[in-house]
Structure 1
Amino acid sequence: MLVNTSDVVTALSMAQNGSIDKFVTLYEEEIIKDNSGKPIRVKTLGQKVYADSVKSHDVVFGIGPAGTGKTFLAVTWAVTALKRGQVKRIILTRPAVEAGESLGFLPGDLKEKVDPYLRPVYDALYQILGKEQTTRLMERDIIEIAPLAYMRGRTLDDAFVILDEAQNTTIMQMKMFLTRLGFNSKMIINGDTSQIDLPKKVKSGLIDATEKLKHIKQIDFVHFSASDVVRHPVVAEIINAYEKDAERKTAHHQKEVIDSTSASGFASYETIGQPASTKEEK
């Protein structure tokens, strides 16, 4: 077995976390070989949990920072299921309105409009299947890539369905998507709750789903952390730095709210007591 740089980084990270004894388990199972013949395996403990969850649940949410392999692994499992005849098609979708850009403002037909937002999905497909085979399967509608709005009114049977960038769905969009699930189908919903591009007053459908659906047996939520990042080691440090800053700001905001509430309560007490004090002075 060839050991590459990412394997070494993973081993060092696990050694620092005291979990090096579990390193071997990551290499026990090969998911599939990519287009060049290289085996694809999970690379972190978080990815292993993700893999086990996908095997045993109909709907799986993968939530965590960029670089943790959520999209790549989801596409890998979808292609594997297709090759094994477990599903008849793969459907890949994501919200088409992001970072203030409306889908309607982009030129060209549907494919041209959606493509800029789905580059990671195409990259994964090309690595696993190759560009030519991916194109052929898309021409035959065995692989379908479409904006989330095009899922409305459909029932997705015998399909492996992936929703990417789910943090940018509204509550209604998430409900619409999840209720498309048909017989003999599997859904993976991926997102990063620290990268929400929705207007401030609009609640993310991904966050809402984690609150409402956590007790449903066939739905599972897998949370990734910076330790699951499989990019350059500095990426994990960058993510950690931003997460700590967000935690600090949240704690500061909560303290301000508590202080404000306490001050308001004290002021109210003084106001209520003032008339009595004035009366006594008279």
Structure 2
Amino acid sequence: MRKIAKLGQAARHHGQLVIRAFNSNKASWVGFVLIVLSAILAPWIAPHDPAEQFMEARLAQPSAKFLLGTDDLGRDILSRLLYGGRLSLTVGIVSTLIAVFFGSIIGALAGFYGGLFELLVMQTMDVLLAFPSLILGLVIVAMLGPGLTNLTVAIAITSVPAFARNARAPTLIIREREFILAGRTLGYRDARLIVRHILPNIAPDILVLTSMLVGTSIRVESSFAFIGLGLPPPTPTWGLMIRSGFENILDSPWLVLWPSVALLICVFSLNLLGDGLRDAIDPKLRGEA
């Protein structure tokens, strides 16, 4: 019981340090608030239905009724931006979580067992990393076909090698530590050592990379939509809005401007969030080392 109490106190102390360090980076909270507003609160703060058409107000300039104007079908741009952010974040977060799960396991297994298995696995990851993420994603989407599920899977596959390499490096160090050697001496199975000891110790590095790659996944999803391999219209996505806005860019530049700015703010906010997580997790930046 005393040991459990001490562990609980240590966990609370660590949590307080993380929160205090995270609060010291105010910019990270700005990113978090922007993400919440665009994803969770879209149904409540959107002034109109994103699919509702006001044909009498086609290509209307920003006004009191339409704060950011309307598109060529009379749809409110602000509403479509908010719902587009909701969809983009869903695709980005889900695809990144899939990549985290498989990439972390692959990297941890390669680092834990080493030898020929590590060589084969990491060379396969290097081959995938040799292709730009957008090109590799295009090939996968072209093979699987358009659709939300296929798009999410394609983006996840492009992120797996990064997580595998990120998980392998610290695993090579952790596998030689005393508690891993003690576990092997006690006869613990490899699965237990990996799940209960390796993965929790490499989680901080993976968490920071996760926040960064969510933004990358959103950018890739928008790129797919821009070239016609994303979700079909009239689904509101930032990439599709940018693509359709190019047809009237000279007369109505706001059609391209606003979704581009929204994409920039979202990715920048996620990078700020990643910086906050890094500052909170790294003991050197917290002043503990």
* TM score, norm. by length of structure 2: 0.27
Larger strand percent: 1
Higher Cα radius of gyration: 1
TM-score, normalized by length of structure 1?
0.27
Structure with bigger helix share is: 2
